[in-house]
Amino acid sequence: MLESQPATFKIEEGAIRRFAEAIGDMNPLYHDEGYAIAHGHRGLVAPPTFPIIFWDLKIPGLELPKQGLIHAEESFELLTEIVAGDRITSTTRLISDTVKQGHSGRMRFVLCETTGINESGETAYRSLANLIVREGVA
Amino acid sequence: MIQVGYEPPPLTRTPDRVQLVRYAGASGDFNPIHYHDEYARSIGLPGVIGQGMLSMGFAANLVGDFAGPEGRVEQIGVRFTRMVQPGDTLTVRGVVTAVLPDDRAEIAISITNQRDKEVLVGSARVSFK
């Protein structure tokens, strides 16, 4: 199976706050560590879509165009909470790469799964990205 | 007690160009279609478009609020159905579709724009504890 080089990231508080600010989410769980801990969390909580920053489409053997790539679907299974200070090792795998003939031309569907493992060896999250490449369309 | 059919308060979001740039920086996605008008038009887009993942962030905002301060989002999945342009007004809505054992629930999510067209549809599962 084609997959990216695994990479380990330490989750930083600043990155969490910056991400939450960028999406306009002022939930104190993502901004105030004391608040997060007071409500039973292990630390400053990463917002649910934060793991998107770990996906790595540089998969040897997978050719993706620089243009015309459409992010059609995305899903996250957040098996454990991710908080600032956690170390996540992430790998993106190619699940399928298929071409279908549609009304507006050939469409290529690329499905990639990214898995993040925490320091305890548990799977912290799994995400599935469905990318569409519209071939033959300007 | 949360019941099927409950709708959390909708959110309104009006992404502007600055937000698209902020999100590009925060997520590490520097695809020029999200900040460079001429480039976006040169590949057939109407101009700069918003990141699908930014819209998903808006959806996750509603779901995270719904989960509450002691809860967490266990699962969220969406489809991006229409382009979003800076200046659009987006309304994020949810409706509880199932109440699950162990203080959990499932919620259907949708985001529509100012023309009442859907830009995102999906669902999520939360734990309240």
Q: Does B54 touch chain A (CB under 8 A)?
A: yes
CA distances in angstroms from A28 to A10, A25, A42, B14, listed in the order given: 21, 9, 14, 21
Please list every residue in chain A whose beta carbon sits closer than 8 Å to the beta carbon of residue B17.
none
Task: Label each residue of A27-88 as H, E or C.
Answer: CHHHCCHHHHHHCCCCCCECCCCHHHHHCCCCCCCCCCCCCCEEEEEEEEEECCCCECCCEE
Average pLDDT over residues B4-23: 98
More confident residue, B1 or A111: A111
Instruction: Indicate whether B111 pLDDT > 50.
Output: yes
Please list every residue in chain A whose beta carbon sits closer than 8 Å to the beta carbon of residue B57.
22-25, 47, 49
pLDDT tens by residue, B19-56: 999 999 999 989 999 999 999 999 889 999 999 999 99
pLDDT at A24 (0 to 100): 98
Q: CA B116, B38, A23, A79 torsion: positive or negative?
A: positive
Residue B53: exposure state from Cβ atoms within 10 A (0-12, 13-18, ≥19): buried
Q: How confident is the model at residue A135 (pLDDT cuts 50, 70, 90)?
A: low
Selected residues 74-93 of chain A with any CB under 8 Å from a CB in chain B? 74-79, 81
pLDDT tens by residue, B47-59: 999 999 999 999 9
Greatest C-alpha distance within chain A: 55
pLDDT tens by residue, A22-38: 999 999 999 999 999 99
pLDDT at A138 (0 to 100): 41
Kindly state the percentage of chain B with pLDDT values over 70.
Answer: 100
pLDDT at A67 (0 to 100): 76
Q: How confident is the model at residue A136 (pLDDT cuts 50, 70, 90)?
A: low
CA distances in angstroms from A104 to A61, A101, A133, B3, B80, listed in the order given: 27, 8, 12, 42, 18
Cα–Cα distance measured from residue A11 to residue A69, given in angstroms and rounded to the nearest whole number:
28
B116 contact partners, CB below 8 Å, separation of at least 6: none
Under an 8 A CB cutoff, do B26 and A137 touch?
no
Q: How confident is the model at residue A1 (pLDDT cuts 50, 70, 90)?
A: confident
Query: Which residue of A lies nearest to B49 if distances are taken between CA atoms?
Result: A70
Degrees, nearest 5: CA angle A123-A124-A129: 95
Backbone dihedral angles phi then psi of residue A7, each to the nearest 5 degrees? -135, 140
CA distances in angstroms from A18 to A88, A123, B52, B54, B60, listed in the order given: 19, 25, 18, 13, 16
B8 contact partners, CB below 8 Å, separation of at least 6: B62, B65, B66, B94, B107
How confident is the prediction for chain A on average, in pLDDT? Answer: 94
| pTM of the shown model | 0.96
How confident is the prediction for chain B on average, in pLDDT? Answer: 97
Instruction: Indicate whether B2 pLDDT > 80.
Output: yes
Tokens representing residue A64 in the block: 């993706």
Give A36→chain B minimum CA distance, Å: 8
Q: How confident is the model at residue A103 (pLDDT cuts 50, 70, 90)?
A: confident
pLDDT tens by residue, A70-99: 999 999 999 999 999 999 999 999 999 999
Cα–Cα distance measured from residue B18 to residue A55, given in angstroms and rounded to the nearest whole number:
24
Cα–Cα distance measured from residue A134 to residue A103, given in angstroms and rounded to the nearest whole number:
11
Under an 8 A CB cutoff, do A72 and B22 touch?
no
Selected residues 61-80 of chain B with any CB under 8 Å from a CB in chain A? 61, 63-65, 69-70, 72-80
Under an 8 A CB cutoff, do A22 and B72 touch?
no
Please list every residue in chain A whose beta carbon sits closer than 8 Å to the beta carbon of residue B74.
77-79
Q: Does B128 touch chain A (CB under 8 A)?
A: no
Please list every residue in chain B whose beta carbon sits closer than 8 Å to the beta carbon of residue A35.
69
Q: How confident is the model at residue A101 (pLDDT cuts 50, 70, 90)?
A: confident
Under an 8 A CB cutoff, do B77 and A23 touch?
no
Kindly state the percentage of chain A with pLDDT values over 70.
Answer: 97
Query: Which residue of B lies nearest to A79 if distances are taken between CA atoms?
Result: B74
Degrees, nearest 5: CA angle A125-A56-A10: 60
Under an 8 A CB cutoff, do B60 and A48 touch?
yes
